Amino acid sequence: MIYSSSSWFYSSLGPDRWLDNGTFLWVAHWGRSIGDPGYRGDHVVAHQYTNNGRVPGISGPVDLNVAFTDLSTLSSDLGPSSPGPVEHRPGFVSHRVLPGESLSAIGERYGVPWREIWHANRALIGDNPNLVRPGWILVIPKVGRKRAHIVQAGETLSEIAAKYGTTADVLRDLNGLANLHLIHPGQQILLP
């Protein structure tokens, strides 16, 4: 996580700078409306909106923040680098949105057109399919879903890749894995 002011983010990163999916931004910009940090992007997960807040039990002023994602996204072992699909209801799987992800990227990952994901999640996303937030749990229709392999004890990503005629790098990218050497028994690995 990178914490700084919105002016620093604009001058040092710029809104078009590429960031790794595991990079989160915590923007400090006091005096703006809560949730409007002055610097936006898919990686922004928190806004520090004042340094003059009051909370019970503390006598002086404190910083106050608002998070744009479930905080477990930032700290969980199953967090941003390996969200993995989980059965949600018959005919669907669920997916936790990572910073930087779009509906089209999520659709490509699962082999589902982005419009189908949008329609399945319209109540959450609303009318603008470009506004998905990190931490949101989306339901993904299984229509067109890619093949998958369930990791067995002792298997490596390289062994799984060789078994299906692909490479570990392809599987890493397809599954959003941060580490080629960190897979777990029972984990579902999507295949190309």
- pLDDT tens digits for range 88-113: 445 667 788 888 888 988 888 887 88
| Of the candidate ranges 79-83, 84-88, 89-93, 155-159, the one whose mean pLDDT is the lowest | 79-83
List, in sequence order, every beta strand (DSSP E) within 56-160: 62-67, 86-89, 92-96, 137-141, 148-150
Domain 77-145 matching CATH 3.10.350.10: the answer reads yes
pTM for the structure as a whole:
0.41
What are the tens digits of pLDDT across the range 20-47? 656 778 889 998 888 888 887 767 888 8
Average pLDDT over residues 152-178: 85
* Averaged pLDDT for residues 126-135: 83
145 pLDDT higher than 60: no
pLDDT in the model for residue 71: 64
In this prediction, what percent of the chain has a pLDDT beyond 70? 79
Tokens read off for 38: 């002055």
Overall fold of domain 147-192: Membrane-bound Lytic Murein Transglycosylase D; Chain A (3.10.350)
| C-alpha distance from residue 8 to each of 35, 60, 65, 153 (Å) | 18, 27, 18, 46
- If residue 5 lies in a helix (H) or strand (E), which one and from where to where? strand 2-5
52, pLDDT greater than 60: yes
User: Which residue intervals of the chain bear CATH 3.10.350.10?
Assistant: 77-145, 147-192
